Structure 1
Amino acid sequence: MALIVSSRVKAKLIEKHSVSEEEVIQCFATREGGFLKDTREEHLTDPPSQWFVAETYFGRILKVVFIMEDGDIYIKTAYPANSKEIRIYEKYAM
């Protein structure tokens, strides 16, 4: 299993969200709940996008969105989670 972050996504993470690839890795390491599927029509993909909320080692709470395919994880985006996303995650994934 590999964690794959394309150069386009790496640039978006840094430029748009000020999130590093290392922070994304930390969130996978500290995640306590499961993964949720994004079922919103405008976000539907094949395979489906999944997401979770977790903290970095320095306490920054991020939402990480990814696709899992053939055992590999492809990062789509990651950004500071808002209160609604945190509530949804705590309600349905914990």
Structure 2
Amino acid sequence: MKNLITSQSVLDHIWEKHQLRRVDVEECFLNHFESKYIEDDRTKNKTNPPTYWFISENHQSVRLKVACVFKDGHVYLKTAYPPNEVELSIYNNSK
């Protein structure tokens, strides 16, 4: 995914905490068929431009929550990790 921008610190974090690689995130974008993104409007997570998140599976059927920022035709990865039950419920019940 050419337009996915990942900092080394984010890549280190998702590997150390969740054993995830960039390719896992790329696969989630490829498998994200419904194109539903939820804006993260929590005060501590507000960004300009806004942070959005979605839940999708990689090619190994591992479900992940991916948080990113869209800016100037690029997608900036903020984090990725297995979603908890609350996040799954929010995502599944959103429009």
TM-score (norm 2): 0.92
- 1:86 partner SS: helix
Runs of 4+ in 1 over 4 A off after TM superposition: none
SS of match in other structure, 1:19:
coil
Cα-to-partner distance string for 1:29-73 (whole Å, 9 max, x where unaligned) = 111331110010111010110000001111101000000100100
The aligned residue for residue 64 of structure 1 is 66
Alignment of 1:1-94 (within 5 A): 2-33=3-34, 34-93=36-95
User: Structure 1: 5+ residue runs without aligned partners?
Assistant: none
1:92 is displaced (CA, Å) by 0.7
User: Which amino acid in 1 is paired with 2:19?
Assistant: S
Identity of aligned residues (%): 35
**Matched letter for residue 49 of structure 1:** T
TM-score by length of 1: 0.93
Gapped regions of structure 2 (runs ≥ 5):
none
